[in-house]
Amino acid sequence: MTDLTTAPVIDPVTTDGGDHEKFSHYVRKSELMPSAVEGTPVRALCGKMWVPNRDPEKFPICPECKDIYEQLKG
C-alpha cells in the first residue's frame, strides 16, 4: 500500500488523549491535501482522528500504525 504518508497529531481539540499526540501517524496521501486546505480531520491507520498541522519528521512513527502498515505491505 504505497498510498500512505505520515502526519503528526497535534490539534488538542480533535485528539482523544493517550500518547497519540507524541507520534506521526500513517494516513492516506489523498486525505492530506483536503485536510490542509479545508482543515478537515484525517484518520490514521490506528484509528486516530485529528487535523495534522506540524512537520511529521519531528515525531517518531506511531508503533500501532507502523505494525498495521507492515501487515498491509505484506
Q: Is residue 74 part of a domain?
A: no
pTM: 0.69
Q: In the chain, what percentage of residues exceed pLDDT 70?
A: 73
Q: Quick check: is 20 in a domain?
A: yes
Q: Where are the alpha helices (DSSP H) in 1-74?
A: 29-38, 63-73
Residue 14: CB atoms within 10 Å: 13
Name the domain count of the chain.
Answer: 1
Statement: residue 60 has pLDDT above 60? yes
In-domain check, residue 23: yes
In a domain, residue 69? The reply is no
Can you tell me whether residue 58 is helix, strand or coil? helix
- Residue 8 is predicted with a pLDDT of 54
Residue 52 CB neighbour total at 10 angstroms: 23
Structural domain boundaries enclosing 38: 1-48
63 inside domain: no
Residue 13 lies in a domain: yes
